[in-house]
Amino acid sequence: MTRSETLRTIAARMREAGDAATPGPWRVVKHERRQHPGVLANVDLHKPGGTVRSISWKVPGEIADAEWSALAHPGLAKPLPDLLETVADLIDARPELERPHVDGEPCDDLACRIVHLALATAAILGGNS
Ligand SMILES: [Zn+2]
């Protein structure tokens, strides 16, 4: 698979996952009575359709995980795939960007660095990193 194909594949996968998830924005809230914080999917619970996705935890570090989940809510499934596909278009426009460098690191060319970072992002999203 070429670099641009990889970016487009991951972009499509991310859109599909984002469409299937509870829409954002999400934020972490405290459930005062239960003493369990949780991730709130719709900011205003009193609005029709407001949905709560509860994540409970036992150790403090897991609160940070919940905060991260809230930060990286499915709203990212629109601009991030668009960004990855734009980088794929950049690669198509500049075919020399399809080839990785011998050392695997980007050179000083800004486009080369953007492609490198987009591929690193795609590797994480694709479960390869
Ligand atoms: Zn380069």
Compute the distance from residue 117 Cα to the ligand 1 centre, in Å.
12
Compute the distance from residue 73 Cα to the ligand 1 centre, in Å.
32
pLDDT at 37 over 90: no
- pLDDT band of residue 56 (cuts 50, 70, 90) is low
36: Cα separation from own chain's centroid: 26
- pLDDT band of residue 41 (cuts 50, 70, 90) is low
pLDDT at 46 over 70: no
Buried b (16+ CB within 10 A) or exposed e, 100-116: eeeeeebeeeebbebbb
pTM over 0.85: no
Could you state, in order of their start, the residue ranges of all structural domains in the chain?
Answer: 3-14+76-125, 25-72
Cα separations in angstroms, 19 against 12, 25, 113:
11, 13, 30
